[in-house]
Structure 1
């Protein structure tokens, strides 16, 4: 026997609480439609996430998680989308003197001319496609 067991204890041991959960508990399964409706409700004017979460028996953290998941899915391109193609406009042939001519590149190589609204982008053959894509996105962003 140790000497600490022989000491007189002036205070009784505190009563410990024991909870027994029966049934399925509070874990619920939400359908995608229910989640979408609750997330949309939380994004409404004058609504706080906490108030919407309380109304539906959720924690605010769970609702914030659903909102984050929804925004990520909206930013992710759909896997079943078909490739997009640019519209091609074919004009009737004009007489040579009436057709606009792009200036010849210094090296004598061919050029492609892309017209977006009022902007015209000219690129030589063999240009880096990534760079050209960046330029076209920038032009589309500023040209109506």
Structure 2
């Protein structure tokens, strides 16, 4: 058995105060118009553009712009060939275009649609 406590019991009041956690956003969510997103994504799809630099200039998080860009490219998935997963069938004359981007080689038949090849090259550069 435990020994009886001597003296009066004291209680401690704990008060919970709603406060912002450290590292939590200082403001509520911002909403971006479709026009703003479209302009940001168009700029991010330009050859040689830096998504992180564009996001910094627009005062948004780079992952947000990467997500918008991924969503925009996802709507055109049927037009973008998966790199490294599809064999290139040579054109009638057998000519193939090879483009070296870093460690990646993009191969396409010589009669490939120019716009399609540009989208593939942009996707490789941004990956």
Give TM-score scaled by structure 1 length.
0.35
Give TM-score scaled by structure 2 length.
0.39
- Higher Cα Rg, which structure: 1
